[in-house]
């Protein structure tokens, strides 16, 4: 048995660091030497994979870096270069067969993730992890010429976040080595990149090398236009030059747009690169984000003119969708050039027709030219027909053939194949105000038939088939609920479902449909059935509650419902308690008999956390809902009970990244009575998602102060405008309106509001994918109306 010398790991001296004083994701970092040693010596793929997982999990856990990460960087750098031509033991290691490229590549990948991280925990100074990597760059740049393609690629990925422009300014208390790359290091990296540019022959690596060169070396950017337009260069290199042109703010013109169109589909040319994937959407959105909306739109129009194959068309549609979610002018400009992709009596399976239909549905623009082709496609029995009908349902009605009656007829004709369309009809019926399709005899008959015999699941329904079937039944029942008494012919099917209660039926939705459809005088059996279900002791509480709620809606009899709600308030089981509290606002004065139960809930002593038999305390937001109900029923007579729960809910929201949907609005409604909560309101004022509502609450709590809690009203309005620019929330518009009622907005603030309402950049950039553009349209209209009202005549 032969004995090879141990591999050179580059970990000499690692035990001189007191790792017990450092922490990583799982606590004290005493295991870091062993983690890095395992990473260095793993001799087979399985062992290496396990070692990499352990090191990543501890040192760069979900992208977070720690104090131990900073200390590990020099050793990772040594491991990355151990056994290479830059190592003093390189020849020995190669002779011993221990130059493990995969191990070294793993170390470089770790360093790249450390350099790219912006999520820091317990670092010695802000930016210390990236600064530690930057300190090692001179020793790492020889990896650009490593024989291993994997290592050369990893080295480029490592360098990019270390470029001077990518390195954020250091905080005032940052260590000197955290400021940026030193001039010496930057010069050394630039020189290494220039040398490698003359040597690298792999097109994908050459493309990424160009990206990194442009980031480090302003002189290299002068070459980008010539490289982008050169027909002799490989596609990945030209695309990298185009992207760098956008990234670094260089001029863009029609020639460059034509070059992109010539290279389409560009994604197929960059699939082997690490730094230049998904390039067409990146180019379009990059141009828009730097303020060049016209260039972004022209780029996609030029590309559309040459999108001759499905792959190019699919990529174009992905880019168009990205741009439409950022640019308000994009849909009207791009839909005309996308519409030809719908032509043809029978689009091929790989044709992009479905994406065009989704764009029509999601972008919400009036587009009468599309209606004839959509009506033709909507009569198809397949999924394409479903997409077309959904687009018609969401498209503003600007064509004489585009009527609600026609849409109801189309939905009823092929209801079994209309999964997306039915979901859209249901969602629109729940909006405020609701949009309800008219009753159509064929559609009503189809709904009745399917309630008893569900339509077969679509072929791509996946593992959530049962949930999908339940959702569909809910949507069918929702359509009957929206129709109300006009859907009374469906009562036999609803009675059958109430008696059988199959698993796919949500009893709350079913009971709501019965309450909406039935006539208590003509259908006396329906209240009787609901009353029986509400009193059934072996039935789940949520079903009894649903039946009691429907009974109250149908007949006004509130006794069964109040009895169930009282039981839930007294028992305090979390789910039942939340449901009961959620039901109280709709009851109004009918809830007055529950006032003693609510007060008992709010004044009950806190449970003993050491007693395992004690029920846990209700959630702070549930207690706040109970306090709100007490106030609605008794005015301000119980503020001494309400205010502690308001403070608890505000404290919970201040420690959570989520938006405060209940506590802050309540504080604003309470006004000066909520003054004890001012310190918590100030904490929430610094919370990005809550600053607008907190500003509104502070102003309401201190209505006569020019500087509520020490913050001027102008500053509060600025905070609300910043929140609006970040989130585009209608509730934040209401907060701005409330502030402006007490003190007029400044000219600069009015200009900022006008910009939000009229600029090309969308204010709503998050939320449900199929609602973002529609929500932004509504936000823009509300912002314009508010500006018109607040601006001086």
CB contact at 8 A, 75 and 16: no
Distance of alpha carbon 405 from alpha carbon 678, whole angstroms: 54
Residue that is written with structure tokens 């750098």 in the block: 77
* CA separation for the pair 238, 15 (Å, rounded): 48
pLDDT at 347: 61
Mean pLDDT, residues 273-285: 84
CA distance 16 to 12: 9
Do the Cβ atoms of 68 and 58 come closer than 8 Å?
yes
Strand, coil or helix: what is 61? strand
Give the H/E segment covering residue 27: strand 27-28
Task: Note the pLDDT of residue 91.
Answer: 42
Unique residue bearing structure tokens 């559609």: 443
Residue 142 contacts residue 155 (beta carbons within 8 Å): no
State the Cα–Cα distance between residues 560 and 537, nearest whole angstrom: 13
Are 715 and 682 in contact by the 8 Å Cβ rule? The answer is no
Tens-digit pLDDT profile for residues 781-792 = 999 999 999 998
The CB-based long-range contact list for 262-267 (8 Å cut-off, 24+ gap) reads: 262/306, 263/235, 263/238, 263/239, 264/303, 264/306, 264/307, 264/312, 264/315, 264/316, 265/309, 265/311, 265/312, 265/314, 265/315, 266/235, 266/239, 266/315, 267/315
CB 617 within 8 A of CB 604: no
Q: Which residues of 558-582 are buried (b: 16+ CB within 10 A; e: fewer)?
A: bebbbebbbbbbeebeeebbbbbbe
Contact criterion met (CB below 8 Å) for 383 and 458: yes
In this predicted model, which residue has the larger pLDDT, 340 or 562?
562
- With H, G, I as helix, E, B as strand and everything else as coil, classify residue 69: helix
- What's the pLDDT score for residue 671? 93
Chain mean pLDDT for the chain? 89
Give how far Cα 702 sits from Cα of 122, 406, 705, 736, Å: 38, 55, 6, 16
Check pLDDT > 90 for residue 437.
yes
pLDDT for 70 beyond 80: yes
pLDDT of amino acid 367: 87
Tokens of 529: 């059935």
For residues 400-423, average pLDDT: 95
Tell me, letter by letter, the H, E, C secondary structure of 434-464.
Answer: CCCCCCCHHHHHHHHHHHHCCCCCCCCCHHH
- What helix, strand, coil percent values describe the chain, rounded to 5? 70, 0, 30
36 closest CA partner among 141, 96, 111: 111
The predicted model gives 456-474 an average pLDDT of 78
In the predicted model, what is the mean pLDDT of residues 88-98? 42
Closest C-alpha to 338, from 389, 301, 298: 301
Position 738 scores a pLDDT of 92
What is the C-alpha separation between 478 and 429, in angstroms, rounded? 8
Rounded to whole angstroms, the Cα distance separating 677 from 660 reads 14
Backbone angles phi, psi at 233, to 5 degrees: -85, 155
Q: Which stretches does DSSP call E strand in 39-170?
A: 60-61, 64-65, 119-120
Report the range out of 32-41, 157-166, 484-493 with the highest average pLDDT: 484-493
Rounded-to-integer distance, Cα 748 and Cα 740, Å:
13
Lowest mean pLDDT among 334-348, 392-406, 549-563: 334-348
Residue 422 has pLDDT above 70, yes or no: yes
**Higher-scoring residue by pLDDT: 1, 76:** 76
What confidence category does residue 350 fall into, taking pLDDT thresholds of 50, 70 and 90? low
Looking at residue 772, what is its pLDDT? 86
Residues paired with residue 60 on neighbouring β-strands, in sequence order? 65
Tokens standing for 330?
């994009």
pLDDT at position 191, please? Answer: 94
Given a contact cutoff of 8 angstroms between Cβ atoms, the answer to whether 685 and 691 are in contact is: yes
Q: Above 80 in pLDDT, residue 521?
A: yes
Confidence of residue 59 (pLDDT cuts 50, 70, 90): very high
pLDDT of 462 strictly over 80:
no
Distances (CA, A) of 552 to 431, 541, 546, 587: 23, 16, 10, 9
Q: What is the pLDDT of residue 440?
A: 95
DSSP one-letter code for 588: G
Q: For 188-241, how does the pLDDT look when each residue is reduced to its tens digit (9 = 90+)?
A: 999 999 999 999 999 999 999 999 999 999 999 999 999 999 999 999 999 999
Backbone angles phi, psi at 119, to 5 degrees: -105, 100
3-class SS letters over 150-211:
HHHHHHHHHHHHHCHHHCCCCCCCCCHHHCCCCHHHHHHHHHHHHHHHHHCCCHHHHHHHHH
Q: Is 95 buried (19+), middle (13-18) or exposed (0-12) by CB count in 10 A?
A: exposed
Query: pLDDT higher for 651 or 688?
Result: 651
What order of strands is seen across the sheet that includes strand 64-65? 60-61, 64-65, 119-120
Report how far residue 793's alpha carbon sits from residue 745's, in angstroms, rounded to the nearest whole number.
Answer: 14
Measuring CA to CA, which residue among 495, 480, 481, 474 is closest to residue 553? 481
C-alpha pair distances (Å), 14 with each of 26, 33, 59, 74, 115: 20, 6, 16, 10, 21
DSSP code at position 495? H
Closest CA to 126 of 185, 179, 61, 181: 179
767 sits in the region (left: phi over 0; alpha: psi -120 to 50; else beta) called left
Using an 8 Å Cβ cutoff, are 302 and 253 in contact? no
Between residues 677 and 270, which one has the greater pLDDT?
677
Cβ-Cβ contacts under 8 Å for 181 (sequence gap 6 or more): 134, 137, 162, 163, 164, 167, 189
Q: What is the CA radius of gyration of the chain?
A: 32
- Beta-bridge partner residues of 65: 60, 120
Nearby residues of 319 by Cβ (< 8 Å), 6 or more positions away = 280, 281, 283, 284, 285, 300, 303
What SS3 class is residue 34? Answer: helix
pLDDT of 660: 87
Read off φ and ψ for residue 327, nearest 5 degrees.
-120, 125
Q: Strand, coil or helix: what is 365?
A: coil
723 vs 716: CA distance, rounded Å: 11
pLDDT of residue 147: 93
For 382, the token pair is: 């397949």
Q: Which residues contact 434 (CB under 8 A, 6 or more apart)?
A: 428, 482
pLDDT (0 to 100) of residue 192: 95
Residue 429, CB-side half-sphere exposure with 13 Å CA sphere: 20
Taking only the tens place, the pLDDT of each residue in 101-143 is 899 999 999 999 999 998 898 888 888 999 999 999 999 999 9
């Amino acid at each position: 048995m032969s004995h090879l010398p141990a591999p050179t790991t580059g970990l000499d001296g690692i035990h001189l660091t007191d790792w017990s004083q450092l922490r990583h994701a799982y606590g004290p970092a005493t295991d870091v030497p062993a983690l890095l040693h395992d990473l260095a010596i793993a001799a087979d793929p399985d062992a290496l994979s396990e070692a990499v997982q352990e090191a990543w999990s501890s040192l760069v856990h979900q992208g977070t870096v720690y104090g131990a990460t900073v200390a590990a960087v020099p050793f990772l750098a040594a491991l990355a270069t151990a056994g290479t031509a830059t190592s003093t033991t390189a020849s020995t290691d190669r002779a011993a067969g221990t130059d493990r490229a995969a191990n070294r590549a793993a170390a470089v990948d770790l360093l790249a993730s450390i350099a790219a991280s912006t999520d820091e925990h317990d670092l010695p100074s802000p930016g210390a992890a990236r600064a530690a990597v930057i300190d090692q760059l001179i020793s790492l740049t020889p990896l650009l010429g490593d024989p291993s393609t994997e290592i050369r690629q990893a080295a480029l990925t490592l360098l990019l976040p270390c470029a001077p422009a990518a390195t954020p300014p250091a905080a005032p208390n940052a260590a000197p080595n955290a400021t940026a790359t030193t001039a010496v290091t930057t010069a050394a990296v630039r020189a290494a990149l220039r040398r490698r540019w003359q040597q690298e022959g792999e097109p994908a690596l050459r493309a990424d090398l160009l990206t990194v060169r442009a980031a480090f070396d302003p002189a290299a950017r002068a070459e980008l236009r010539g490289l982008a337009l050169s027909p002799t260069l490989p596609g990945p290199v030209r695309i990298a030059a185009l992207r760098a042109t956008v990234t670094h703010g260089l001029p863009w013109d029609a020639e460059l747009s034509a070059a992109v169109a010539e290279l389409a589909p560009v994604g197929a040319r960059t699939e082997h690169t690490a730094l230049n994937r998904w390039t067409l959407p990146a180019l379009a959105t990059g141009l828009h984000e730097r303020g060049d909306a016209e260039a972004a739109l022209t780029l996609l129009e030029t590309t559309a003119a040459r999108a001759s194959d499905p792959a190019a068309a699919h990529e174009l549609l992905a880019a168009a969708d990205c741009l439409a979610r950022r640019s308000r002018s994009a849909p009207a400009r791009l839909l005309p050039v996308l519409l030809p992709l719908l032509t043809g009596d029978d689009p091929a399976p790989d044709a992009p027709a479905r994406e065009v239909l989704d764009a029509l549905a999601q972008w919400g623009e009036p587009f009468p030219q599309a209606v004839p082709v959509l009506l033709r496609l909507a009569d198809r029995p397949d999924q394409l027909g479903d997409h077309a009908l959904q687009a018609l349902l969401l498209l503003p009605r600007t064509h004489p053939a585009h009527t609600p009656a026609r849409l109801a007829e189309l939905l009823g004709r092929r209801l079994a194949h209309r999964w997306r369309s039915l979901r859209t009809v249901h969602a629109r019926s729940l909006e405020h105000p609701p949009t309800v399709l008219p009753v159509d005899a064929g559609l009503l008959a189809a709904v009745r038939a399917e309630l008893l015999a569900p339509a077969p699941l679509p072929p791509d329904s996946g593992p959530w088939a049962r949930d999908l079937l339940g959702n569909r039944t809910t949507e069918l029942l929702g359509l009957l609920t929206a129709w109300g008494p006009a859907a009374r012919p469906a009562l036999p099917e609803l009675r059958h479902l109430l008696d059988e209660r199959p698993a796919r039926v949500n009893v709350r939705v079913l009971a709501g449909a019965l309450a909406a459809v039935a006539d208590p005088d003509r259908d006396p059996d329906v209240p009787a059935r609901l009353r029986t279900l509400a009193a059934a002791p072996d039935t789940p509480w949520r079903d009894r509650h649903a039946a009691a709620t429907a009974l109250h809606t149908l007949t006004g009899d509130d006794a069964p419902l109040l009895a169930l709600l009282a039981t839930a308030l007294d028992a305090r089981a979390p789910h039942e308690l939340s449901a009961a509290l959620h039901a109280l606002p709709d009851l109004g004065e009918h809830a007055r008999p529950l006032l003693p139960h609510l007060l008992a809930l709010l004044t009950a002593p806190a449970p003993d956390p050491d007693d395992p038999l004690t029920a846990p305390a209700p959630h702070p937001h549930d207690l706040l809902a109970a306090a709100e109900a007490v106030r609605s029923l008794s005015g301000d007579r119980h503020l001494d009970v309400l205010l502690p729960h308001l403070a608890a809910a505000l404290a919970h929201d201040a420690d959570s990244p989520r938006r405060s949907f209940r506590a802050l609005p309540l504080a604003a409604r309470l006004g000066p009575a909520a003054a004890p909560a001012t310190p918590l309101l100030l904490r929430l004022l610094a919370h990005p998602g809550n600053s607008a509502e907190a500003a509104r609450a502070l102003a309401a709590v201190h209505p006569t102060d020019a500087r509520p809690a020490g913050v001027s009203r102008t500053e509060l309005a600025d905070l609300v405008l910043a929140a609006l620019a970040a989130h585009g929330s209608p509730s934040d518009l209401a907060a701005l309106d409330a502030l402006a009622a007490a003190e007029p907005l400044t000219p600069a603030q009015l200009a900022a509001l006008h910009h939000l309402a009229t600029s090309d950049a969308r204010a709503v950039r998050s939320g449900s994918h199929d609602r973002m553009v529609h929500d932004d349209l509504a936000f823009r209209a509300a912002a314009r109306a508010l500006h018109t009202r607040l601006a001086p005549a």
